[in-house]
Structure 1
Amino acid sequence: MRIFPETITELWNEWELRVLVLISLSLQIILIMLGKRRKYTTRNWVRFVLWLAYLSADWVATVSLGVLCNMQGFSKSTDSAPHQDGTIMAFWAPFLLLHLGGPDTITAFSLEDNELWLRHFLGLLVQVGVAFYVFLRSWTTGTNYLLFVAIPIFVAGIIKYGERTWVLWSASSGNFRDSLLPPPNPGLDYVKITEKYGEDIDLWSGFNKRPGYERYRVDTNIILDARIFHEAHYFFKIFRCLYADLILSFADINDSYEAFKTKSPNKAFKLIEIELGFIYDVLYTKASLVYSHAGSFLRPISFISTVSAFMGFLIVNKHGYSKINIIISYVLFIGALVLEIYAVIVQLFSDWTVLWLSKHKSPRWNRIFEAIFSRRLAISENKRAIYEKKRWSHSMAQFNLIGFCLRHKPAQCLRIWDCFGVYEKLEKYLQIHLKDITSELEIFVFEHIQPKAKDAEGNATRINEVCHYRGDEVLRAFDDLRWSVEVDFDESILLWHIATDLYCDKCQDAKIPEISKSLSDYMLYLLVMCPFMLPNGIGQIRFQDTVAEAERFFQDRKLPSNRSDACDKLLAVDSRFPQASVKGDVCKSVLFDGCRLAKSLQLLERRDGWDSEKVWKMISNVWVEMLCYAANQCRWNQHAQQLGRGGELLTHVSLLMVHLGLTEQLKVIKGEGIVPL
């Protein structure tokens, strides 16, 4: 029984490989364009399209090679046309290797892809073997200049695929960690020291001395405007060990603290932005190879091979080949050249190139540097951008609990997706919106952290205390508020989010600090959508119980027409008693505990005579302290994951704290003896 008509089957057999090859090229274009863009965008459609293209690209290229291998049976045909078509189609095999090598802008979609380097290595061996088999099967006893032209593409394809496999291997967690370990150091000879000094071992003054530590200073030969790139790269080489769960020394922390304590908030955050850009490039792109000595050798070979093959294809005799196949071959060549040229342009305008060019202060390099970068490197205290290139999203997601509870419910027919859990996630995504991170917020965060860093400088015990502040330091003198930060951290986030919302709605002062509201909605977003970035807890259970209670409360009293009505109804409830004492511990909702906290904030104005500005400053400090606590507690591999999703404010704050010496991931390393025997 034939499912498809014979004409359709024949048409598909004729066009199957052509379609697959063109799809493979299209996927490469999508990857190289969006692979760079995902670094600085949080748009879900970009991530979805890139994810689909990333997963499909290897599959399409592999299937194409399989189809091409299967089609070589036509070579036995007595008809010359199928044989000629088989030859030119075999000519496409090296292009599929190029596609399997992938673009420079993305090698891994997520960190887990780096762990699959062994699978890609096996794929490299198998796919190169299949392409070589197709190549040999198409070779005839006569001279076939077209296949000679394909040899340079073969070389470029193997280089590209090998580059990708090597980069995945180098960015895998095990090898990345091993690459950061110092070489084995047995130290001074214990036996010789003890034999020489014997009982007088304590008299050897050099035994417990530590070699002098010289703080990093920027080379004076570096072009001044590019100084920030060299500082970022220097600290990148030190702090990349955090992403491998290695320990910093106090010497590293002191070096960083000395450099950061005199910086303005704008410059500090900009330096961190560039530093995280280097981390992103190493973990998700081919940068670690492209900007190395090996890359400077392999990249010209790949480019010259592609260009020479194209020149050869232009002059080779193509008589007898199908016009459609010739056109597709031209498309593949043009696509390969465009991708190569685009990769070169991206490379030229990268931070790594700025780093390299600015080291050479000769007149020739100065002219090149100024022509490309000088207008983009003007540092201004009053402007947000030091360098026009966008390195991350500069935004933070916002999620509001009351707004989520007041959302319009869908028709019953659409809730069929509930059984798959799809609709619930979609509802949450639809409630998220983005807010730009302002320079005022950066200044506020920096000025909150800097005094604490100065107070704890060099004191491990004090550093540990400061890292564990989560609002309790701000509320130390407020007995009627301190309870709200002495509970589980996820509960504190919900309590203060509800209280901030209610106090904001009823605040008489029109000047409501945007910092408090933005951080409140951002921290709830992390709790609901990124719980893996927060300390372990039952935050999602508390959130869903709180939402369920709020929805029931609003429904029983008729759905409010707006947020103000909803806040009025909540504040009208007598919430003097803790919810646990009324409802027990089964329900984890904190809705009315949040109302109780909001009333305590209002009481500061009525009872203690505070103005709203003073209350808002306290609320903002509580939120920043919570933000810093969450940043310090988040594991660095989770920070690294977010770099491929547009970046998170939490990651930037976490690295800022490390630069200012506020991290628990450090250890005092004692020096070794310096007197040789």
Structure 2
Amino acid sequence: MDTMQLFSEKVARLWNLWEVRLLVLLSLVLQVILIIFGARRKISARSWIRILVWSVYMTADSVATVALGILSRSQLGRNNNLQAFWAPFLLLHLGGPDTITAYALEDNELWLRHFLGLVVQVGVAFHVFFKSWSNSAITFINIPIFISGIIKYGERNFVLRSSSTQYFRDSLPSRPDECKEFVTVVEKDMSGEFAEGSLEELPEILKEIFKGFTVEVQDDIAPKDYYIVQAYFCFKKFKYIFANLLLDDKERECIVSTITDKNAVDAFKMVAVELGFIYDVFYTKAAIVYSRLGIFLRCISFICSLSALVVFSIIIDVHSYSLTDISITYLLLVGAVLLEIYAFLLLLFSDWTKIWLIKLKKETSKTLFEPFWRFISESAPLLSKRRRWSGSIGQYNLISSCLRKVQPAYFGVQKLPFVGESLDKYWHLNREDMNNNIEETIFNFLKKHGDLLNGLEGSEVFRDYFFTLRGNFTLQKWYGKDFFSESWTVDIEFVDSLVIWHIATDLLYYGDLDDIPEGDVSKLDPKCKVSKYLSDYMLYLLEFCPFMLLQGFGLIRYKEACAEAINLFKEKRLDDIPKACKDLLETYPQQVENKDDLAKMLIGEKQSLPMYGCMLSRKFQELTNIHRQRKWEVIGDVWAEMMGFAAHNCGWKEHAQQLREGGELLTHVFLVMAHFGLSKQYTGHKLMQSTYSLGEARNNIVLEAYVEKQRWREGNIEHV
């Protein structure tokens, strides 16, 4: 018993000796992790980065707070007043790095709680400071670190408050910033261009309203910088969309003009820059750092940290203090300076700095900033090649996941309680890099319909109607009434339609793969692979990000479809996807002869999504045997239309939340749609103020103009 008691006392003494030291060092390590990986999560969708950042973000404040509390109750005298010197460093750590202020949007809403923490923790730090007050130089070196710590902590609270929903919305002016220092908005008449579409006589009311605006980058800006200037201009407008506010006709036309002459690659590149700006506003200290006040505060903070390090190195008496405490103090000082330098480098090579330098070069003498400008310009190729988001899309397949569940558990992962299913799901989640074919399929589809709709006032009526079709528009365009297109799209819930088309795409994909010698995937039609990628991506959203999709009872039927497939695969003991596809077609051989019979089946009591997927694939194959390539062009457009519907109905908060996880393709589609005037947050009012009612215009003049323009742009489509 005495031995155990003696051992416990030694452990207690050892812990009391090292408690503060370990916590302070841990706090420094957590700050290093946050500043490095806090920026990485913007461009990476890897789960381990997300878990690491979440763990460190949730731990960092608690560690610094506990360390401050321990210091406040410690008996600090001359022999240990070096530890009191650590208190302002903990304030510095509580301020956090520039690369991450909020882990999620909800953290911005808690800014008042953080402000209370600021008041309390600054008070505790001052308590430690005054309790250890002496005439030694260490006491006076505390002052610059205190200044730096209060600046950092204050910046964090200011940014959290300014990024909260209410204050972010209130901070926006009544009209978006025109960015006159970069672009010129020019009004132009579009009625003549529209009239070329075989509309010989347009009503005067439409001629008057067919006026648009174009955004022209000013002549003294280099052509290579056009894309970032246009992205910044659109970012100023899109802040209103992410604040859930409306934009009017003029703003829509200005935004549309920035993308009209771009191809898919350039358009998605510009959108990535815009979303980078949005991410910085919501999740980093961009609101304060990239301002004159922020630069001034950053200089003060750096000078304070550097001066404290230099003075401490000069005046410290190594014989008066513990070597361990001196080493820890040096680590804190050097760490503070290096973190400031690292933050400055991130700032220097950011898109914000590029915009600032372009503006500075326009407004000041070129020779004054020539060396600095040359350095940044030579670094431009590195900036243009760096990633601005993960550039990958999640891939999840229903048949593959069901086959995996009928096979033996991988290392018993599936059998783990509570987390087994989730771990197994994430373990087998695949990601594919974005490619130009995917971008072109989506871009061309949106551009085609954006061009059709934007020529008409009151187009928001057709826009909203169009995005309720969920693939029906494409099917009607190609196949008319022969396909029963409403039955596979608008007559059922979106999730049901998504799962049915996903299964049908798989069946058609592996059917085509069987026809290729040795099943060489590289020999497949690129449009076929694009359709497969989009199909698996939409199911990934349903499985991992269901909050981004419009839901009803479809999720329940999706789970029932998975259970049905699992039971079937267990019974047949299948372990291969092509075999599973063949077996599904053999198990559900039903054909559908007319639309009424299909409608009764789809709304019946017993619904089988795998069966409907097989029926859809047969119907599709039946109508496309002659035109195999057209089949995948149509399926690709159906998935693009479904993705447009999903993006159109996904809230801005859901899009903004995904920016912290490497970004989602759906969010990029959401912004490309906004560029083409296809966002529901655009509103028109000119036609409503005319003598025509919106209903009359829709049913008469505007509807005829829309149909006529469609025929002019696409030509008469022959049904297969």
Compute the TM-score of the two structures, normalised by the length of structure 2. Answer: 0.83
Q: Alignment partner of 2:475: what SS?
A: coil
Supply the distance in 2 between the matched residues of 1:583 and 1:553 (Cα, whole angstroms): 21
How far apart are residue 449 of structure 1 and its match? Answer: 1.0
Indicate the residue corresponding to 2:556 in structure 1.
541
* Contact 1:84-1:321 at 8 Å conserved across structures: no
Deviations 1:38-93 (A, max 9, x none): 0010000000000000000000000000011111xx24xxxxxxx33430100000
Match of 1:111 among 105, 109, 113: 105
Match of 1:572 among 567, 586, 594: 586
Supply the distance in 2 between the matched residues of 1:287 and 1:497 (Cα, whole angstroms): 41
* Contact 2:409-2:415 at 8 Å conserved across structures: no
Supply the distance in 1 between the matched residues of 2:460 and 2:616 (Cα, whole angstroms): 34
Match of 1:562 among 539, 556, 576: 576
Q: Within 5 A, what are the aligned runs for 1:452-467?
A: 452-457=449-454, 458=456, 459-467=459-467
Supply the distance in 2 between the matched residues of 1:355 and 1:40 (Cα, whole angstroms): 21
Task: State the one-letter code of the partner of 1:506.
Answer: G
Indicate the residue corresponding to 2:172 in structure 1.
180
How far apart are residue 216 of structure 1 and its match? Answer: 3.4
* Contact 1:28-1:57 at 8 Å conserved across structures: yes
Match of 1:89 among 66, 69, 83: 83
Task: State the one-letter code of the partner of 2:654.
Answer: Q
Q: Alignment partner of 1:373: what SS?
A: helix
Note closer, same or farther for the CA distance 1:586–1:102 as it changes in structure 2 (3 Å cut): farther
Match of 1:20 among 2, 6, 23: 23
Indicate the residue corresponding to 1:595 in structure 2.
614
How far apart are residue 144 of structure 1 and its match? Answer: 1.3
Indicate the residue corresponding to 1:59 in structure 2.
62
Supply the distance in 1 between the matched residues of 2:392 and 2:412 (Cα, whole angstroms): 35
Mapped pair 1:124 → 2:118:
yes
Structure 1, 392-401 or 212-221: larger mean CA deviation: 212-221
How far apart are residue 411 of structure 1 and its match? Answer: 7.6
How far apart are residue 372 of structure 1 and its match? Answer: 2.5
Task: State the one-letter code of the partner of 1:223.
Answer: A
How far apart are residue 221 of structure 1 and its match? Answer: 2.0
Indicate the residue corresponding to 1:155 in structure 2.
147
Supply the distance in 2 between the matched residues of 1:335 and 1:41 (Cα, whole angstroms): 26
CA RMSD of superposed structures (Å) = 2.4
Supply the distance in 2 between the matched residues of 1:478 and 1:428 (Cα, whole angstroms): 40
Structure 1, 100-109 or 594-603: larger mean CA deviation: 594-603
Supply the distance in 1 between the matched residues of 2:686 and 2:140 (Cα, whole angstroms): 62
Supply the distance in 2 between the matched residues of 1:662 and 1:164 (Cα, whole angstroms): 36
Match of 1:658 among 671, 674, 689: 674
Supply the distance in 1 between the matched residues of 2:380 and 2:626 (Cα, whole angstroms): 46
Task: State the one-letter code of the partner of 1:166.
Answer: F
* Contact 1:575-1:593 at 8 Å conserved across structures: no
Supply the distance in 1 between the matched residues of 2:222 and 2:125 (Cα, whole angstroms): 48
How far apart are residue 320 of structure 1 and its match? Answer: 1.3
How far apart are residue 568 of structure 1 and its match? Answer: 1.2
Structure 1, 661-670 or 295-304: larger mean CA deviation: 661-670
Supply the distance in 2 between the matched residues of 1:588 and 1:300 (Cα, whole angstroms): 66
Indicate the residue corresponding to 1:530 in structure 2.
545
How far apart are residue 145 of structure 1 and its match? Answer: 0.8
How far apart are residue 358 of structure 1 and its match? Answer: 2.0
How far apart are residue 536 of structure 1 and its match? Answer: 2.5
Mapped pair 1:33 → 2:46:
no
Runs of 5+ consecutive residues of structure 2 not aligned to the other structure: 176-207, 517-522, 688-720
Supply the distance in 2 between the matched residues of 1:283 and 1:656 (Cα, whole angstroms): 20
Task: State the one-letter code of the partner of 1:164.
Answer: R
Deviations 1:311-339 (A, max 9, x none): 11011232311110000000001111110
Match of 1:400 among 394, 397, 400: 397
Mapped pair 1:623 → 2:642:
no
Supply the distance in 2 between the matched residues of 1:41 and 1:443 (Cα, whole angstroms): 23
Task: State the one-letter code of the partner of 1:650.
Answer: L
May I ask how many residue pairs the two structures share in their alignment?
Answer: 622
How far apart are residue 350 of structure 1 and its match? Answer: 0.5
Indicate the residue corresponding to 2:380 in structure 1.
376
Match of 1:167 among 155, 159, 180: 159
Task: State the one-letter code of the partner of 1:170.
Answer: S
How far apart are residue 539 of structure 1 and its match? Answer: 3.2
Supply the distance in 1 between the matched residues of 2:474 and 2:258 (Cα, whole angstroms): 28
Match of 1:49 among 43, 48, 52: 52
Structure 1, 320-329 or 459-468: larger mean CA deviation: 459-468
Supply the distance in 1 between the matched residues of 2:635 and 2:464 (Cα, whole angstroms): 23
Identity %: 43
Indicate the residue corresponding to 1:193 in structure 2.
none
Q: Alignment partner of 2:219: what SS?
A: coil
Structure 1, 310-319 or 487-496: larger mean CA deviation: 310-319
Supply the distance in 2 between the matched residues of 1:84 and 1:472 (Cα, whole angstroms): 80
Q: Alignment partner of 2:217: what SS?
A: coil
How far apart are residue 588 of structure 1 and its match? Answer: 5.2
Compute the TM-score of the two structures, normalised by the length of structure 1. Answer: 0.88
Note closer, same or farther for the CA distance 1:586–1:413 as it changes in structure 2 (3 Å cut): farther
* Contact 1:223-1:358 at 8 Å conserved across structures: no
Task: State the one-letter code of the partner of 2:40.
Answer: R
* Contact 2:80-2:321 at 8 Å conserved across structures: no
Indicate the residue corresponding to 1:299 in structure 2.
298
Indicate the residue corresponding to 1:471 in structure 2.
471
Supply the distance in 2 between the matched residues of 1:560 and 1:650 (Cα, whole angstroms): 34
Indicate the residue corresponding to 1:321 in structure 2.
321
Q: Alignment partner of 1:397: what SS?
A: strand
